[in-house]
Structure 1
Amino acid sequence: MLYDSIGVGYATARRTDPRWMSAILAALEEAGTVLDVGAGAGSYEPADRVVYAVEPSGEMVGQRGADAAPVVRAVAEALPVRDCAVDAALAVLTVHHWSDWRRGIAELRRVAPRRVVLAYDTRLHAEFWFVREYVPQIAELELSRPSAPDIAAELGADSMIPLPLPWDFTDGVFPAYWRRPEAYLTVRDTCSALAQAPREAVERGLARLRSDVADGTWREKHAELLELDEYDAGFRLIVSG
């Protein structure tokens, strides 16, 4: 199980950002009961409605807070609930980890009339400056994953809403530090893209980044990013039903 090995400390590094939380709540609309699939530590579980969680990793389940929703260890491809059991199914940055993502999407459609999925356009992740300039081996991994447009098509989405990353984003998703490059020197173990890339390639890339940050090369090369308040890294909120 991937997150049994890379999920240590996840609840600290991957803190809920209220701006994304607001978008998710709006997408859930009036759903009174929600099934959070691939729930992890429970970062984006609504506090104002009944939530049930499904998470396969014991490490991640162990990091859920005392006030988190009840959780069952299971996989998205075989959800242990009956048809139309909840008003909405929620899946936040998890589909790209599923072993059979199309089967998992079919399960979301089975268990809830409304589906809200947060995913990302893998092409934009593969073109991110960190990948392009420092660890290009990550691009192959990203492009092998299901992309937001593919997920939207499989889900029969009604809308696909862009979720840009503010420069001070609090959830440490892979491109979160697009304007804060020094952060990448310390977050490798809680970022799946870095954790799954060849270790030697990551070490070489981080050494170059450390040098470029120290001597001002990164700032000079990416001066235009420092003028932006938010950045589109390809995250999309996909809504169906």
Structure 2
Amino acid sequence: MDARTQDGTAADVGLGAFARRPRPDPRIARFVAEALDGARTVLDVGAGAHSHEGAAGSMRAVAGAGPACARRPALLARAVDAVAGDLPYADGEFDASMTLFDVHQWSDVAAGLREMRRVTRGPVVVLARAPEVVRDFWLDAYAPEVLETEARRHPPVRDLTAALGGTGRIRAVPIPLDCTDGFDEAYYGRPEMLLDPAARQACSAWSFVGDEVREHFDRTLRHDLASGAWDRRFGRLRTEPVYEGSLVLVRATP
């Protein structure tokens, strides 16, 4: 997951040995495309380099004028400099709209979602993490401060649906074992990957904790991998084809 600024602007950061930067996973993208339900015109709020703009035919992106726009792939159209809470579009201008891995960065989530609802005739799609279950992940045994940060930053799913008019359908999104997105649960069966500091940087919650947390995580996970303790507790995850964690998709219709 890329690090972002508030209100739908983005600051993408890279991965380490696994990949230089997170890439939208095509299997997760299929869930997004299905939720968009064949919409011809789609607004992507918070779009940066980590974008699912292949999910619909005609896409308009809002990402701000900062690093997000600068790092968007050249094959994508330049994103509009705007924030989620004040979208420069007419009522009902788009068939659908989406925001992916981004609402927890907005200073006013409700205002941003209301704006998305205003400019959208059809479904509004939100890919987010449910803070209620964030700490169920094995990382809590090694860096609970990171998951505490994640849980605190992400708005409750009920708040998302309420801001969208209470019409939201919530769906858990399974995470594949070789997921190419850069959030921590993407490594549920590959714990060694999170020993790479660059991989940890791709999840912005790590930037909110101190060096002592990162050092403790690195030291204790390395020890438990070497001793086999991690595998005795969590090793079954290495062969689980998918993981159902905190990743959810909310689809709201008028």
User: How many angstroms does 1:48 deviate by?
Assistant: 4.6
Asked if the contact 2:33–2:55 (Cα under 8 Å) also holds between the matched residues in 1, the reply is no
Q: Give the Cα separation in 1 of the matches to 2:227 and 2:171.
A: 38
CA gap of 1:180–1:57, structure 2 versus 1, over 3 A, is: farther
Q: Give the Cα separation in 2 of the matches to 1:85 and 1:42.
A: 24
Of 198, 201, 212, 2:210 maps to 198
Asked if the contact 2:94–2:119 (Cα under 8 Å) also holds between the matched residues in 1, the reply is yes
Of 108, 117, 132, 1:123 maps to 132
Partner of 1:68: 76
1:165 aligns with 2:175: yes
Partner of 1:8: 13
Of 143, 146, 155, 2:151 maps to 143
Partner of 2:161: 152
Asked if the contact 1:14–1:171 (Cα under 8 Å) also holds between the matched residues in 2, the reply is yes
User: How many angstroms does 1:141 deviate by?
Assistant: 1.7
What are the Cα deviations for residues 73-94 of structure 1, in whole angstroms up to 9, with x where unaligned? 2211111222212111110010
Asked if the contact 2:42–2:95 (Cα under 8 Å) also holds between the matched residues in 1, the reply is yes
1:215 aligns with 2:227: yes
Of 18, 28, 36, 1:28 maps to 36
User: How many angstroms does 1:227 deviate by?
Assistant: 4.1
Q: Give the Cα separation in 2 of the matches to 1:74 and 1:218.
A: 44
Q: Give the Cα separation in 2 of the matches to 1:159 and 1:41.
A: 27
Deviates more, 1:43-52 or 1:110-119: 43-52
Deviates more, 1:36-45 or 1:175-184: 36-45
Q: Give the Cα separation in 1 of the matches to 2:189 and 2:228.
A: 14
Partner of 1:180: 190
What are the Cα deviations for residues 32-58 of structure 1, in whole angstroms up to 9, with x where unaligned? 101100112142112651111111362
Q: Give the Cα separation in 2 of the matches to 1:225 and 1:30.
A: 34
Q: Give the Cα separation in 1 of the matches to 2:82 and 2:106.
A: 12
Asked if the contact 2:12–2:50 (Cα under 8 Å) also holds between the matched residues in 1, the reply is no
SS in 2 for 1:83: coil
Q: Which amino acid aligns with 2:191?
A: P
CA gap of 1:6–1:111, structure 2 versus 1, over 3 A, is: closer
CA gap of 1:68–1:82, structure 2 versus 1, over 3 A, is: same
Structure 1, unaligned stretches of length 5 or more? none
Asked if the contact 2:173–2:244 (Cα under 8 Å) also holds between the matched residues in 1, the reply is yes
Q: Give the Cα separation in 1 of the matches to 2:104 and 2:68.
A: 17
1:239 aligns with 2:248: no
Asked if the contact 2:33–2:56 (Cα under 8 Å) also holds between the matched residues in 1, the reply is no
Of 39, 42, 45, 1:37 maps to 45
Deviates more, 1:48-57 or 1:3-12: 3-12
User: How many angstroms does 1:135 deviate by?
Assistant: 1.0
User: How many angstroms does 1:30 deviate by?
Assistant: 2.4
Q: TM-score, normalised by structure 1?
A: 0.91
CA gap of 1:31–1:60, structure 2 versus 1, over 3 A, is: same
Q: Give the Cα separation in 2 of the matches to 1:185 and 1:37.
A: 31
User: How many angstroms does 1:199 deviate by?
Assistant: 2.9
Asked if the contact 1:134–1:208 (Cα under 8 Å) also holds between the matched residues in 2, the reply is yes
Partner of 2:85: 77
Asked if the contact 1:162–1:234 (Cα under 8 Å) also holds between the matched residues in 2, the reply is yes
Asked if the contact 2:38–2:56 (Cα under 8 Å) also holds between the matched residues in 1, the reply is no
Structure 2, unaligned stretches of length 5 or more? none
